[in-house]
Each structure stands twice: as structure tokens, then as C-alpha cells.
Structure 1
Amino acid sequence: MIRITRQDGVQILRLDRPDKKNALTGAMYTDLAEALERGNTDPDIRCSLICGQPEVFTAGNDIGDFLQYAGKSGMTETPVVRFLRALVRNEKPLVASIDGIAIGVGTTLLMHCDMVFASPRALIRSPFVDLGLVPEAGSSLLGPQLLGHARAFELLCLGNAFSAEKALRAGLVNEVVEGDVDAAALACAREIAAKPPEAMALSRKLLRGDTEALFERVEEEIRIFASRLSAPETIAAFQAFMSKKKA
């Protein structure tokens, strides 16, 4: 589930499924998408903060749940796609707090954040190619822009894990926090929320630039991702993953 609270103009979105390492279900994606969409129209929400649990941000998709709804709809109108579109269309500053693993979408959503705080035990990884898939959330466009081609290839294609310090050096993380990373991220979010909202919105929009190319890339990734679900190497990779998980 997603626990949603508010504090001083900050909408706090906490991933709360620790028994499954915060693996994201369709219901959780829907809650996240609705929260971001709500933020666009609610003037009392000036910033959103996404955080997880101690030692785990998210293990990425709940594979079993994902395969069920992706198989029924062809993925086009699935909850995860709604969330990805909401990330691109999000108009309010977005902060993330990472403690522990951030896998798959737990990595790519960071590229949409304005500030990212990580604990020293954060571990960022996107094993899309290992599963016969392609990167998502516009990361194939944002990754090279943020990290440079070589680091983006290492993260998104090779699937290497980035430690908190490596992510900091690469520019994916703003600060590595030795103490309470959630408290540091919330303090930053509250600072953002306290600033003049119109000036903040205009300034953020200038920094982000035209997002239409990003939206088009997300849609292209979705089409390719959906087609890959029926590819023989993808099916074999998922079967191996599920067998390993059950062992």
C-alpha cells in the first residue's frame, strides 16, 4: 500500500509493503499516479516526497501482479503506465528518499525527481535487459542527459548496481545522508514548499524545458516494452526469475 500524509505543504507518499520489499502492485501504482495528479490541481500541495521503509525503497514491480494485468490489457492502460505518464506530467517539485534497494522503476523514477537523498546503504539497479526488457519511465532519454552515455549504459543496459556514493558522483543523487535520510529529505521538501509557489513552479518549468519529447519517449518505451513481453528471450528470462524466486 501507499501511505499518504501531508505536512507543511508536503504530500508524503510512503511505500508501505515491507514484507514484499515494497514491490509495486497495480493498486500501488494507481495510488501514486492519483497523488501526483492531485498535486497538479491542489494549491495546498507544494511538493511531493516519495520514500520507502528502512533498508528498502522498492524492489520494483511485483512481477506476478504485473504479468496479470499487462497480459489482459496489452499494457497500454495499465496502472504502471498511468504512473509513468503522471511522472512526466507532474507539475510540483518531487523529492525522493532512498534507504536500501531501489530496483527497476525504483531507479528510473529518480530521474524525474528534483532532489534525491540516499542513505549509505542505498543500492540502485535496473535489470531490464536481464529480463529481456527495455528501460522505461523515459530513462532512455533522461539517463544519458543526466549521467552521460557511458554511465547511463552501465546503469540501464549492463544493469550494474550503483552504490549511494557512485550515484552521487554520477549526478543521480544530490546528497548521501549518514543519519536519518527521511528526515533530511522531508526538511528539503518543506523548504521547497515554503518558497513562493508561482516562482518555484515557473523556475522548475524553465529548468525542465519542453517535456513533449520526454512524453513521446515514454510512449515509445511503452510500445517496445509491451512487445517484448511476448519475446521468447523475455519469457525465458521471466521463467528463470520466477523459478529462482520460488527456490
Structure 2
Amino acid sequence: MATVLTEKQGSVFEINLNRPDKKNALTLAMYVEMTALLKQAAEDPNIHVVLFRAQGQSFCAGNDISDFVSAAHNPNILQDVLVFLHTLASFPKPIIAAVHGDAVGIGTTMLLHCDLVVSADNLRCKMPFVQLGLIPEGASTLLFPQLVGHRHAFELLVEGRSFDAIKAEQLGIVNQITEPDLLLETARNRAKKLSDSPVDSVIAAKQLMKAETLKSVHQVIDSEGALFYQRLLSEEAQKAFMAFLQK
């Protein structure tokens, strides 16, 4: 079964996570596939907008812990993840996310790199990096404090406090909340409207809005990645992983 599906709706390219039985937890292979799809979309003049969405009851339960544990001693384990994050951060065209259910770890931090986020009212976000003996990723240690201030960011990234759709909207992570049954239609309508806008103007506006922080974002992604790998091999992380897998 394909773990990442694609669909074209006019000039909107949909990337659809498809591991519903695992709450769409990301494997290393899925990172590679999503990177390739983003690069394809960036180069295709007939694609104006990318829409991330997911099958099943959740958007994304974070990284697949068993997949990471099995490859933990490979020094290149994070390379595919970092390439995806860099590609996502520098993607030139608009990215919309339609999120619902659980959005854990990367399921939340990737939203920081999206231009619009439409959420179902059942959204449950959580970033339990520290509780797993790790550190936050995806330039979230830069972008979350910029977005919500240090104290709110500390609460979310270090305490790992969970939050719902209303809180996500208040924090500026989510643009619009809708009922689960209307989520995809609402996100597609916004994507369609955006895709019909003057393409070059949209791309130029996004570039200008991100230009000032993008260099820092790429640097922080790499800095977080290096420390993330160190933490991945730590005794704290190994104990946390084993406890998680035994549940």
C-alpha cells in the first residue's frame, strides 16, 4: 500500500499521507517520497499550490518510533528528514495544510512552514520531543518563539503541553477552523482561489515575506538536526523509546 498518495485538482497538487492505521506516523521512506514530490511540484509550471492532507482519523502522529529505533546507529538517519525540512522551508509556491485529529511532533512543526492552515475542530497538537529525550526540530526553536513569544513556546516545546484547534488559532498556527466533514472542501476552496491568483505575484510575495528569516531557518534546521542525532543515541531517549514501544 502506498503510504503517500497524490491527486491533482486543477493547478492544486495534493500530497496525502496514507498510513491511517499508524495515524500517519512518518517513516524515513515517506520523507524521501515527500521531498521528491515537493521538488516535482516546484518545477512544474502547471502546479500553483500544494495541499497537504491525510487519510484516517489523524493528520500525523509524528515520526515512526520503531523505524527510527531500528536505524538509530546509522549516522545518515536524519539526512532524509533534514532534506525534506529544507525543501519544505524553501518551497517557492504556496503550501496549504488541511489538518485534523492528532498532529504530533513533526505533524505540528511542519505547519510552521505552511502558508495557510485549515483545521478541523477536533485537532489535537502536541510536541513531546523533550519527553522522548530529544529536542524540537524543523526550525521550531526559532519559529515558535517568533510566533508566540518565549514563554508560550517554552510551554509547548519543552513542557510539551498539548493544545486544541482553538488554541492553535489563537497562537497563529491555524488560519481557519471548520467541522471535520467540511475540512477537505474548505481547504480545497482556499487552495483553488489561491491557485487562480496571478502566479508570479503570489510567488514573489511569499519570497519577500520569508526572505528575512529563511537563511536563519536553514541554519537552525541543521543545528537542531545535529543535536537531535546526539539525543537520539542518548540513554534518556533510548529509555523513552522503549517505554513508548512497550505501550
Q: The TM-score by the shorter chain falls in which range?
A: over 0.9
CA offsets per residue over residues 78-118 of structure 1, 9 Å max, x none? Answer: x2222112112211110001110000100000000100011
Give the counterpart of 1:226 among 214, 229, 242.
Answer: 229
Counterpart of 1:84 in structure 2 is 85
TM-score (norm 1): 0.94
User: Are residues 1:204 and 2:212 paired?
Assistant: no
TM-score by length of 2: 0.94
Map of 1:41-190 to 2, 5 A cutoff? 41-77=43-79, 79-178=80-179, 179-190=181-192
Tell me how many residue pairs correspond in the alignment: 243
Amino acid at match of 2:227: I
RMSD: 1.3
CA distance in 2, matches of 1:54, 1:230: 32
Shift of the alpha carbon at 1:241? 1.2
Deviant stretches of 4+, over 4 Å: none
- Contact 1:14/1:50 (<8 A) preserved: yes
Mean Cα deviation higher: 193-202 or 203-212: 203-212
- What is the deviation of 1:55? 2.3
CA distance in 1, matches of 2:78, 2:170: 35
Query: After superposition, what is the alpha-carbon deviation per residue over 1:40-65, rounded to whole angstroms, capped at 9, x for unaligned?
Result: 21111111000112421011111111
Is contact 2:118–2:176 with CA below 8 Å preserved after alignment? yes
**CA spacing shift, 1:200–1:160, aligned 2, 3 Å:** same
Equivalent in 25, 32, 42 of residue 34 of structure 2: 32
Unaligned runs of 5+ in 2: none
Where in structure 2 are the equivalents of 1:2-17 lying within 5 Å? 2-17=4-19
